[in-house]
Amino acid sequence: MAFSFKPGDIKRTCGHQAYQRGMNYWKSDKVIDVQLTDESATQQIISRVAGSNGEVYDTQIEVLEYDDGDCEIIGECSCPVQIDSKHIAATLLQTLHSGPQAISSNSDNQLENWLDELKKASQGQPATEEAEQDESPYRLLYVLESNPERQDPYAIEIVTQKVRQLKKGGYGKPSAFPLEKASETFYANDFLKPADRDIAQLITNARNFYYYNYGNNYTLKREMGELALQKMLLTGRCHWGDKDNPSLRLGTPRQIGFEWHNMGNGQQLEVQIAPPISQIFRAENFWYVDLETQEVGALDHPALSGEQVEALLNAPVIPEENLEEVSRELVLKLPEYQLEAPIALDFETIDVTDTEPTAVLKLHKIDLSSGSDHDLQFHCARLEFDYQNVRVTTLPGQVIFQNIDGNKIYRVTRDSPAEKEIIETLHSLGLGIVEPNAQDPRLDWFFASETRTESAQNWDYFLEFEIPALKEKGWKIEVDDSFAMRFEESEEWLGELEEGENEWFSMSLGVELDGERVNLLPLLINILQESNNPQSLRDHLQAQSAFLVEVRDNHWLKIPSERLLPFFDTLVELYDRDPLDDNGNIALSKQQILQLNDLLNNPKLTWRGAEELIALNKKLRDFSGIANVDVSKGFNAELRDYQQQGLNWLQFLREYEFNGILADDMGLGKTIQTLAHLLIEKQSGRMKRPCLIIAPTSLASNWRRETEKFAPELSVLVLHGKDRHYDFHRIQEHDLVITTYPLIRRDRDVLNKIEFHMIVLDEAQYIKNPKSQTTQTVYELKSKNRLCLSGTPVENHLGEFWSMFHFLMPGYLGNLERFNRIYRNPIEKQEDDIRREQLSKRVAPFLLRRTKDEVASELPKKTEIIRTVSLQGQQRDLYESIRLAMDQKVRAEINKKGLARSHIMILDALLKLRQACCDPRLVSLPQAEQVTQSAKMELLMEMVPEMIEEGRKILIFSQFTKMLALIEDELIERDITYSKLTGQTRKREEAIAQFQEGDASVFLISLKAGGVGLNLTAADTVIHYDPWWNPAAENQATDRAHRIGQDKAVFVYKLITEDTVEDRILAMQERKRALA
């Protein structure tokens, strides 16, 4: 039967190391025989392989071959490795290169072979291959002889001789033939039979040396020697002493026994073998030689090994004065020899037989330190087998166990299968045995664990669940006083906060056990230190019902995992490299106290000294109990309900010296809420120093305008332009100082010297990069009160969010490395919802965000918002040059033609000024080609992405189709989807459908093309990029979104450049509305 497996399959099965060693074994002819059976669905290989120590190992291999050419090899071996060993590899290599001898499963062939064997045996022929005709006249003889000169009196030697078989019978003159030649091709060894080669392999492997000055005498040793002897006896060419003596054959085993005989000067053991024999020798076990019957066979003893038999054979004559001593030793200490004492002793022997053992487990502690510096104390379970109250304390193996009680000797005939089943039960429960030794052979079992906690977990489960189950099976359980493992639960946990200096607090956390309070913080922190990965610790907790904490030596507190998780979640956030003080308490700042929110509200945790903080956390958690604040007199706006709540929140944070992020959607009035808050600060007398407003350049003028409109009592200083340094000395004279992010870095030396009452960052995402110079400058500014305004506090990643909080309350979210490890990486890379929820809870008190959908019921159907922006730099210079030039031209034209006939010139001048406000690229003048700045475009491109982030649908109107084209380019650069409608648009309906059906977020529309006839109810935001003279035209455009069928509030933004013709247009619109 052929196999399709390859050497690679062998290597994959056994591994590289076993494969290489197997290769050496195969090349060294250590594979004795290989046979194949096809009795099952799989192909099975059976072999015997010589080991390096003289042992012979049996292998059994199954080969499963599949249709796709793949195969699976499963091998078992009797060697210590057991599975896929080097002996398996050697067998497979032998099979692959030489092929096995098939064992036929055909019953007819088996019967035929057996009948053949019977016939040969009846004719006196050996039932071996030797009966076959052989052309070679040479034979290999095996001559057995003892060597009395050897140190080992029971050794037997084999001498191998090559002889010629004579025609008249007998053999010719012998010549030495070393068996090593059997495997060497350059020696004449064709006359050898297969059995000779097998014998040579077994003996030379046992001899275990290789050189060319071979001898031809060998000592039979161990199992391989016995196997070789059996094969020799089957050849019919094995002789005792001389080649001319009759050939020996394999005899049946005979029993060996021992009896005491009186020698006159004492007693001696004599061997009892029946029938009598001529000689005994030992390979692995003892063998006899019977020259009467020409037989060699094994000597058996029911209880003794070869070593024990040899020890008895070496027994000296026991003098009379030593008989009692030897008798006591044999009876009391060596019962396994089952040898009667030479004299009778005064003991009563009680035999305990036919009794099933009862398992007894005695829980105790052992000390294996043996003078070592290391503590090697283990809690163990000592196993004993109870036979009618006689305790057996050793492993199965001894057939007889003897126990002495006074003058009674209890001889227990052990039930090995029952004992092994008990032992298997302990193995199945995860217990391992402490290796017995000569000083203490008793059976102690323990849990092999890498840590004390793991060991305690195993014992806790064993005591709680396995012990009761074993008792139900009839096991006896005993607990020694030395067994110190104790497991307890505590329902009540105690937390304590003690206020120290400078608003720092000391926190302890513990339980009460046996009337004594135990601080758990050092223990829990130690667990965190051992676990580098908080997520792994959380997974570990969730995977088990309870967690163990060692509160005292071997005294463990058992905590349900679901109860411990909130504690670890909080400690993970509070944990630092060395968080505990000398008393085992953790020191917390006032800001960190707020991170105890989950613990302060845990119903199973009793707090002392935390009443005010619990009340504060409740207010921060759901804003209940936050006092309603009256809007200042002189504030020119009526706050909506959500804006009033925002004002309450800002005042609440100020009262408790916290800071936060106001993150309402664009258009919901973040600026108004902030101004209302600042006006209260002014009128209450708390604003003794100026407040600093930092905004994008495009919004600086808007802050000035909104302040003048809603809170005119607040004096405003805007720091901008090249000459702003002339205003530095006036900073302390104003309530609000408005500057921009680009300028803050340039003016840092001046601003860093000032302690501000409050710092407000508008569009605070500008400090999203904590490493930028602008952000570093903002961090350095001095103020106790800080506020971030941002509709998109997280644009790209959580690192931006950390940067804002680092400005607001440094350290509240830890340093950046720790924030990334605890929050950002688990949330963004591992999609950890638990960490996301924890971060959300952590920042919730300091982040107030309302979307327009959440407050829709409070919003008017249409909200108009004026967003002003100042022209800067080259764009301002361009505008002024056009204004001055056109002013001269218009005046000259009026003087020449009169006002009535100068309309065209006046309109052209106004057109150029309006174009310069929108974007210098609209102006058809040579000096405009060098100007790249556009303040209004920058403002628009700051607004639109944020609006899209909020989910808005936007209409952008302009009177200039070229302006729409420029906006289109900006949208394309930012990957913002859009549709466009102008007078040149051919597929008008398709452009409308693209926006209405959600394929575009922005709809660019020329005022004339889209002013009438459109129904764009998908839109909720309208931006008028440039104002039109006639407000009715703008209103018609706005009504494309705000009309019947619209179910959302519409926000209308008008972008106006300050101190330009657009201001005049806006004022004129207001007058026209008033007249209407």
Cβ proximity of 30 and 90 under 8 Å: yes
DSSP state of 822: I
3-state class percentages of the chain: helix first, strand second, coil last, to nearest 5: 40, 25, 35
pTM: 0.56
| Residue 127 included in any domain | no
CA 579 to chain CA mean position, Å: 26
| CA separation for the pair 688, 170 (Å, rounded) | 133
HSE-CB for 501 with a 13 A CA cutoff: 0
| Residue 472 included in any domain | yes
Tens-place pLDDT, residues 788-817:
999 877 767 788 889 999 999 988 888 888
Q: Higher-confidence residue: 692 or 322?
A: 692
Tell me which residue of 394, 401, 397, 402 sits closest to 416, measured CA to CA.
Answer: 397
Same domain, residue pair 795 and 816:
yes
Tens-place pLDDT, residues 419-434:
889 888 988 888 888 8
Of the ranges 115-129, 349-363, 714-728, the best mean pLDDT one: 714-728
| CA separation for the pair 1041, 118 (Å, rounded) | 111
* Structural domain of 282: 254-337
- Backbone φ, ψ for residue 268 (5° rounding): -140, 150
Average pLDDT over residues 560-566: 74
| Residue 977 included in any domain | yes
pLDDT band for 105, please (50, 70, 90 cuts).
Answer: very low
- Backbone φ, ψ for residue 772 (5° rounding): -70, 155
The DSSP result for 757-807, as a single string, is EEEEEETGGGG--TTSHHHHHHHH-EEEEEEEE-S-S-SS-HHHHHHHHHH
Of the ranges 167-171, 446-450, 713-717, 893-897, the best mean pLDDT one: 713-717
- With 0-12 / 13-18 / 19 or more C-beta atoms within 10 angstroms meaning exposed / middle / buried, residue 333 is exposed
Residue 527 CB contacts under 8 Å (≥ 6 apart), including other chains: 537, 549, 568
Residue 104, pLDDT > 50, answer: no
DSSP state of 171: B
DSSP state of 349: E
Average pLDDT over residues 987-993: 86
Q: Which of 319-328, 432-441, 783-792, 1033-1042 has the lowest mean pLDDT?
A: 432-441
Mean pLDDT taken over the chain: 81
Q: Higher-confidence residue: 403 or 922?
A: 922
Same domain, residue pair 305 and 275:
yes
Tens-place pLDDT, residues 235-271:
889 999 888 899 999 998 988 888 888 887 888 878 8
| Residue 116 included in any domain | no
pLDDT at 671: 94
| CA separation for the pair 771, 899 (Å, rounded) | 60
HSE-CB for 425 with a 13 A CA cutoff: 17
pLDDT at 125: 46
Domain stops at, among 202, 233, 250: 250
Domain stops at, among 602, 621, 640: 621
Cβ proximity of 458 and 449 under 8 Å: yes
Cβ proximity of 176 and 216 under 8 Å: yes
Average pLDDT over residues 587-600: 69
HSE-CB for 1065 with a 13 A CA cutoff: 21
- Backbone φ, ψ for residue 65 (5° rounding): -110, 135
| Residue 128 included in any domain | no
Which residue in this structure is represented by tokens 């040898």?
339
Tell me which residue of 118, 299, 142 sits closest to 235, measured CA to CA.
Answer: 142
Tokens for 715? 């004096």
Average pLDDT over residues 168-185: 80
What residues pair up with 46 in beta bridges, in sequence order? 35, 60
Residue 1, pLDDT > 60, answer: no
What residues pair up with 954 in beta bridges, in sequence order? 1002, 1021
Tens-place pLDDT, residues 137-150:
888 999 998 876 66
| CA separation for the pair 956, 1025 (Å, rounded) | 7
| Residue 126 included in any domain | no
Which residue in this structure is represented by tokens 């001319």?
244
pLDDT at 328: 72
| CA separation for the pair 698, 677 (Å, rounded) | 23
pLDDT band for 196, please (50, 70, 90 cuts).
Answer: confident
Tens-place pLDDT, residues 35-74:
887 654 567 888 888 887 667 888 988 887 766 667 778 8
pLDDT at 474: 93
What residues pair up with 525 in beta bridges, in sequence order? none
Q: Higher-confidence residue: 343 or 478?
A: 478
Q: Where are the alpha helices (DSSP H) in 474-589?
A: 521-530, 534-542, 561-574
| CA separation for the pair 918, 897 (Å, rounded) | 31
Tokens for 806? 């680092």
| CA separation for the pair 493, 495 (Å, rounded) | 7
Tokens for 953? 């649908």
Q: Which of 53-62, 378-387, 597-606, 998-1007 has the lowest mean pLDDT?
A: 597-606
Q: Higher-confidence residue: 513 or 241?
A: 241
| Share of residues in the chain with pLDDT > 90 (%) | 26
Tens-place pLDDT, residues 760-777:
999 998 998 999 999 999
Domain stops at, among 794, 821, 856: 856
Cβ proximity of 846 and 809 under 8 Å: yes
Average pLDDT over residues 192-216: 69
Same domain, residue pair 884 and 1026:
yes
Residue 130, pLDDT > 50, answer: no
pLDDT band for 662, please (50, 70, 90 cuts).
Answer: very high
What is the pairing mode between strands 736-740 and 691-695?
parallel
Same domain, residue pair 597 and 691:
no
CA 890 to chain CA mean position, Å: 79
Same domain, residue pair 922 and 1071:
yes
DSSP state of 385: E
| CA separation for the pair 1037, 1041 (Å, rounded) | 8
Average pLDDT over residues 200-206: 76
Cα angle 175, 181, 183 (rounded to 5 degrees) comes to 150
Tokens for 792? 């998109």
Q: What's the domain count of the chain?
A: 7
Same domain, residue pair 677 and 743:
yes
pLDDT band for 580, please (50, 70, 90 cuts).
Answer: low
Cβ proximity of 65 and 5 under 8 Å: yes
Same domain, residue pair 544 and 600:
yes
Average pLDDT over residues 631-657: 92
Q: How many CB atoms lie within 10 A of CB 1015?
A: 14
Residue 1053, pLDDT > 70, answer: yes
pLDDT band for 731, please (50, 70, 90 cuts).
Answer: very high
Residue 442 CB contacts under 8 Å (≥ 6 apart), including other chains: 382, 384, 393, 394, 436
Residue 963, pLDDT > 90, answer: yes
| Residue 796 included in any domain | yes
The DSSP result for 917-979, as a single string, is HH-GGG--SGGGGG----HHHHHHHHHHHHHHHTT--EEEEES-HHHHHHHHHHHHHTT--EE
Q: Higher-confidence residue: 242 or 585?
A: 242
Residue 937, pLDDT > 90, answer: yes
pLDDT at 102: 42
Tens-place pLDDT, residues 457-508:
889 989 999 999 999 999 999 999 999 888 888 777 787 777 777 667 777 7
Q: How many CB atoms lie within 10 A of CB 722?
A: 7
| Residue 114 included in any domain | no
| CA separation for the pair 423, 445 (Å, rounded) | 10
pLDDT band for 1063, please (50, 70, 90 cuts).
Answer: confident
What residues pair up with 267 in beta bridges, in sequence order? 262, 318
| Cis geometry, peptide bond prior to residue 275 (ω within 30 degrees of 0) | yes
What residues pair up with 495 in beta bridges, in sequence order? 509, 607
Residues in the chain: 1076
Q: Which of 108-122, 468-482, 813-827 has the lowest mean pLDDT?
A: 108-122
| CA separation for the pair 712, 293 (Å, rounded) | 134
925, amino acid identity: L
Of the ranges 162-171, 430-439, 647-656, the best mean pLDDT one: 647-656
What is the pairing mode between strands 400-405 and 408-413?
antiparallel
Average pLDDT over residues 950-971: 93
Residue 107, pLDDT > 50, answer: no
Same domain, residue pair 519 and 601:
yes
Same domain, residue pair 463 and 318:
no
Q: Which of 3-17, 74-88, 715-729 has the lowest mean pLDDT?
A: 3-17
Which helix (DSSP H) or strand (DSSP E) does residue 589 occupy? strand 586-589
Same domain, residue pair 96 and 152:
no
Cβ proximity of 736 and 702 under 8 Å: no
Same domain, residue pair 363 and 326:
no
Same domain, residue pair 659 and 764:
yes
| CA separation for the pair 280, 273 (Å, rounded) | 10
Counting other chains too, the contacts that 163-169 makes at CB distance below 8 Å and 24 or more residues apart are 163/138, 163/139, 163/243, 164/137, 164/138, 164/139, 165/137, 165/138, 165/139
| CA separation for the pair 323, 534 (Å, rounded) | 73
